[in-house]
Chains A and B, each alone.
Chain A
Amino acid sequence: ELKVEQNPLFLSMQEGKNYTIYCNYSTTSDRLYWYRQDPGKSLESLFVLLSNGAVKQEGRLMASLDTKARLSTLHITAAVHDLSATYFCAVDIVPGTYKYIFGTGTRLKVLA
């Protein structure tokens, strides 16, 4: 059974600090997606990682993918309060189909 696990599940951090969220998956997928979800809202696409070694950065967030280790990371640099949200990684059940298996989510709270 395909599993996608994130850690930590909860993260409380001070503004200005750095931290990394980890996403491990159990299938041989070369595609991984990161989404952000605010409370009561839908999913906002952050990054699409399409190959081994892919690295993408947007503002204070940087995502990377290591398909051999079946690991993706979402690194937060100098966190600000606006980054408070739940972050999900997702893997295609069948690559390229967008039938996703989502991770458990990481609930991030950035304290002022």
Chain B
Amino acid sequence: DTGVSQDPRHKITKRGQNVTFRCDPISEHNRLYWYRQTLGQGPEFLTYFQNEAQLEKSRLLSDRFSAERPKGSFSTLEIQRTEQGDSAMYLCASSLGGRVGHNPSEAFFGQGTRLTVV
């Protein structure tokens, strides 16, 4: 499977615990995005990387959230001291972009990690 891969698919955690999610993008994609989707809503942009550089963070990303993409390949999203309001589906997407002569198309999404904070 050469699509965007996310792990784990489901995570249940107690309030106050830390959790970490992983995303493996499509191998040749240099851009990686994190989105959050709560029940009945559309996904909301959280942050994105070009290679290993984190280029933008949404104001939705509180201090408890941190994302990394250390080698410009896979990325991790960590939530510290989880709260019940963090319960959501966390979606990762990847795309090509920012390259001279590149004809952009779209972002491709992974299956998501569903987080439940109890």
Chain A residues with CB under 8 Å of chain B are: 4, 33, 35, 40-43, 45, 48, 88, 90, 93, 96-105
Contacts and interface: CB of A to CB of B under 8 A. Distances in A.
B31 interface: yes
15 contacts: A4-B42, A42-B91, A42-B109, A45-B108, A45-B109, A88-B43, A93-B45, A96-B104, A98-B33, A99-B56, A100-B35, A100-B45, A104-B42, A105-B41, A105-B42
Nearest to A40: B114
Given A4-B42, A98-B33, 19 more contacts: A33-B106, A41-B111, A41-B112, A42-B91, A42-B110, A42-B112, A43-B109, A45-B106, A48-B106, A88-B43, A96-B97, A98-B95, A98-B107, A99-B45, A100-B43, A102-B42, A103-B42, A105-B41, A105-B42
B109 A98 contact: no
Interface string B82-118: 0000000001010101000000111111111010000
A48 B43 contact: no
